[in-house]
A and B are shown apart, each in its own frame.
Chain A
Amino acid sequence: MDNSLRGKLAIVGAFDTNVGVVPGKTPTELCVAAALGAMADAGIDRSQVDGLITCNAFAEPILYHAEAVAEYLQIFPRYCFSVNTGGGTTFTVLHHAASAIATGMADVIVISMADSLRSSMTRDQARRVQSSTGHPQFEQPYGLTVPAYYALIAQAHMAEYGTTQEQFAEVAVSCRAHAARNPSAQKQELISVDDVLASPLVADPLHVLDCSLVSDGGSAVVVTSMERAKDFAQAPVYLLGVGEGHSHEHISQASSLTTSAALDSGRLAYEMAGLGPADMDFAQLYDCFTPTVLVELEDLGFCAKGEGGAFLETGATRPGGSLPVNTHGGMLSHCHPGNPGAMFALTESVWQLRGQAGERQLPGAEVGLVHGQGGIMSSHTSIILGREAA
Chain B
Amino acid sequence: MSDTSVRILPPVTALTEPYWTGCRKRELRLQQCDACGKYQFYPRILCSHCGHDSLSWRRVSGRGRIASFTVVRRPMTDAYPAPTMIALVDLDEGPRMMSSVVDAEPDSLHIGQAVRVDFAAWSEEISMPVFRIATEEASP
Contact = CB atoms under 8 A, between A and B. Distances in A.
Contact of B80 (A143, A156, A206, A257): A143
Interface in A243-263: 250-253, 257
Contacts of A127: 76-77
Contacts of B112: 159
B97 interface: yes
Contacts of B73: 200-204
Given A141-B9, A143-B7, A151 B75 contact: no
Given A139-B98, A251-B88, A151 B70 contact: yes
A202 B84 CA distance: 11
A128 B76 contact: yes
Interface of B: 1-2, 4, 7-13, 16, 41-42, 67-77, 79-80, 84, 86, 88, 96-100, 106, 110-112, 122, 128
Given A135-B98, A141-B10, 17 more contacts: A125-B4, A128-B76, A128-B77, A137-B11, A137-B12, A137-B16, A142-B86, A143-B72, A144-B72, A144-B76, A144-B86, A155-B70, A156-B67, A201-B73, A203-B74, A252-B96, A253-B42
Nearest to A125: B1
A250 B9 CA distance: 18
B46 to A, nearest CB: 14
Contacts, number: 118
Question: Which of B74, B96, B97, B122 counts the most A-chain CB atoms under 10 A from its CB?
Answer: B74
B114 to A, nearest CB: 16
A70 interface: no
A135 B74 contact: no
A257 B68 contact: yes
Interface string A146-160: 011001111110010
A152 B8 contact: no
Contacts of A200: 73-74
A136 B96 contact: no
8 contacts: A136-B8, A140-B8, A142-B86, A143-B8, A143-B80, A145-B75, A202-B74, A252-B97
